[in-house]
């Protein structure tokens, strides 16, 4: 199944499955979780970032159990840093 991924303001180079802006569609198996999708992208599942599926926040401890569905949009947005 396909999901849409958006990495907002993430440090470093975008994963090869995504475009240069950190967006794209990826294939994940049916029943995949947020952690499975992150692993497929080469992103540590415990990465500190606001994680949303379809605009709904997914708490860090729930990433391992949040099931993705065909057409879902997975968005990651890291904490804002400044000084």
Please give the domain boundaries of the chain with CATH numbers for all domains: 2-77 (3.10.20.30)
Average pLDDT of the residues in 1-18: 87
The 3-state DSSP class for residue 35 equals: helix
Reading phi first (left if > 0) and then psi (alpha if -120 to 50, else beta), residue 20 is in: alpha
- Residue 31: predicted pLDDT: 97
Question: pLDDT tens digits for 31-52?
Answer: 999 999 999 999 999 999 999 9
Q: What's the pLDDT band for 80 if we cut at 50, 70, 90?
A: confident
Contacts of 66 (CB under 8 A, 6+ apart): 33, 34, 53, 58
Provide the whole-model pTM: 0.90
Average pLDDT of the residues in 23-31: 97
Q: With 90 as the cut, is the pLDDT of residue 76 above it?
A: yes
Longest dimension (CA), the chain: 43
CB 28 within 8 A of CB 37: yes
- Residue 56: predicted pLDDT: 97
């Amino acid at each position: 199944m396909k999901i849409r991924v958006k990495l907002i303001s993430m440090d470093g180079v975008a994963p090869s499955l995504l475009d240069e802006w950190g967006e794209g569609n990826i294939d994940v198996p049916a029943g995949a979780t947020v952690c499975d999708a992150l692993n497929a992208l080469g992103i540590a599942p415990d990465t500190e970032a606001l994680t949303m599926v379809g605009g709904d926040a997914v708490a860090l401890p729930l990433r391992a159990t949040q099931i993705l569905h065909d057409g879902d949009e997975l968005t990651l947005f890291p904490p804002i840093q400044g000084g």
